[in-house]
């Protein structure tokens, strides 16, 4: 969990178990993507360079351990496979998202669309989805396949709803959360639910773990909105201008525009457009300029308490997540889940 959170000494055994599990998950993914077609094998090798913190597989493993999977032996085959499945679904969304965003770089590696063209990127994303479904169907229990199928549909619904609302300055909070649920929270909820299920937890515990995952997934996204606004470019790697240029409205902004008078709204929209133009032109490499230009709109959002509102919303979601854990007996894995929930609010990247 390097880079995700600092683990206190008493949880170091748990951490070692997760890290060794992740190693096996990586092997599982490699086997699942193996292809006799050299060009496909080569593309899959490149995609491995996009690998991040592997938050989703970590959640499957830790949720499993918190729900009955022993941690003095290796993770069960099914737990390891499901951890690989959710990471592959996530990889597929990254490859297809990069086409939609016309992105050139991801994690210091060239995107598939920039490197091999949009055609290859569409097909490679499809290959990753198909491989994840196939691996999921290798389990004897059909329920994970049903859940992964359903959540993959929700991912697309969330993205399509976001596209439909691009540049919609009147988007309401309900729609914002509907997009967020589909795009982010639903898959995180399935990660923790599947971990619990495959570890043999009761239906009640599975439902509670789903709520836990959904809540931290939502909190993560709201916190992302705040980091976009407040973080320095070096730390968060994004700019207000970039979100705005993409027509993506964040929670603080939605709150702000819904809180002000019609006249102040017109002023805010002008400030936004100025920040957007300037921020968009920085190409994501001149954060300090973007921050300077966005100061007036930031100031306006502070006056309506919109940053505070988003912060409180994220905190409420993390509290909700932690309350979901009440159904579990105490364990090192449960402590790690609590730490992961808290880390959503303290992370700076």
- Interacting residues toward a second copy by CB under 8 A: 35-37, 39-40, 43, 92, 96, 99-100, 117-120, 122-127, 129-131, 133-140, 142, 145-146, 148-150, 152-153, 155-157, 159-161, 163-164
Long-range own/partner contacts, residues 229-235 (CB < 8 A, 24 or more apart): 229/294, 229/298, 229/301, 229/307, 230/307, 231/348, 231/349, 232/287, 232/288, 232/291, 233/284, 233/285, 233/286, 233/287, 233/288, 233/290, 233/291, 234/287, 235/348, 235/349
CA distances from 85 to 144, 199, 221, 330 (A): 10, 16, 22, 28
- DSSP character at residue 138: T
Give the single-character DSSP code of 74: P
**Closest CB to a second copy among 96 and 278?**
96
CB of residue 178 to a second copy, shortest distance in Å: 8
Q: Which one, 41 or 295, has the nearer CB to a second copy?
A: 41
Smallest separation, CB 270 to a second copy (Å): 28
Residue 21 or 125: the one with the smaller Cβ distance to a second copy is: 125
Q: Which is nearer to a second copy, 93 or 250 (CB)?
A: 93
Question: CA nearest 150: which of 161, 136, 164, 169?
Answer: 136
Residue 337 beta carbon to a second copy: minimum distance, rounded to whole angstroms: 28
Shortest spacing between CB 240 and a second copy, in angstroms: 22
Least spacing, CB of residue 35 vs a second copy, in Å? 6
Could you tell me the smallest distance in angstroms from the CB atom of residue 201 to a second copy?
A: 21
Nearer to a second copy, 124 or 226 (CB): 124
> Is residue 258 a contact partner of residue 289, using CB atoms and an 8 Å limit?
no
**Among candidate residues 145, 152, 98, the one with its CA nearest the CA of residue 124:** 98
Residue whose CB is less far from a second copy, 101 or 308: 101
């Amino acid at each position: 969990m390097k880079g995700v959170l600092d683990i206190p000494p008493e949880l170091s055994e748990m951490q070692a178990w997760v890290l060794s599990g992740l190693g096996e998950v990586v092997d599982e993914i490699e086997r699942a993507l193996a292809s006799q077609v050299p060009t496909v094998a080569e593309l899959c090798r490149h995609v491995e360079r996009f690998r991040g913190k592997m938050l989703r597989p970590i959640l499957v493993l830790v949720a499993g351990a918190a729900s009955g999977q022993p941690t003095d032996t290796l993770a069960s085959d099914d737990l390891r496979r499901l951890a690989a499945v959710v990471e592959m679904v996530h990889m597929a969304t990254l490859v297809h998202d990069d086409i939609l965003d016309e992105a050139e770089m991801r994690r210091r590696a060239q995107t598939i669309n920039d490197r091999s063209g949009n055609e290859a990127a569409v097909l490679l994303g499809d290959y990753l989805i198909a491989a994840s479904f196939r691996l999921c169907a290798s389990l004897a229990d059909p329920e994970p396949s049903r859940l992964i199928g359903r959540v993959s549909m929700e991912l697309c619904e969330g993205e399509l709803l976001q596209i439909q609302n691009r540049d919609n300055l009147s988007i309401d909070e309900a729609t914002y959360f509907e997009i967020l649920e589909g795009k982010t929270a639903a898959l995180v909820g399935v990660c923790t639910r599947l971990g619990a299920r495959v570890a043999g937890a009761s239906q009640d515990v599975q439902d509670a773990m789903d709520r836990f995952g959904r809540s931290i997934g939502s909190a993560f996204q709201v916190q992302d909105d705040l980091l976009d606004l407040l973080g320095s470019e070096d730390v968060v790697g994004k700019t207000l201008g970039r979100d705005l240029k993409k027509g993506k409205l964040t929670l603080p902004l939605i709150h702000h525009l819904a809180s002000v008078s019609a006249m102040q709204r017109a002023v805010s929209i002008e400030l936004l457009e100025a920040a957007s133009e300037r921020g968009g032109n920085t190409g994501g490499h001149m954060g300090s300029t973007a921050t300077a230009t966005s100061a007036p709109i930031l100031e306006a959002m502070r006056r309506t308490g919109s940053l505070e509102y988003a912060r409180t919303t994220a905190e409420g979601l993390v509290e909700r997540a932690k309350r979901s854990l009440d159904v579990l007996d105490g364990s090192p894995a449960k402590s790690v889940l609590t730490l992961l929930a808290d880390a959503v609010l303290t992370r700076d990247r």
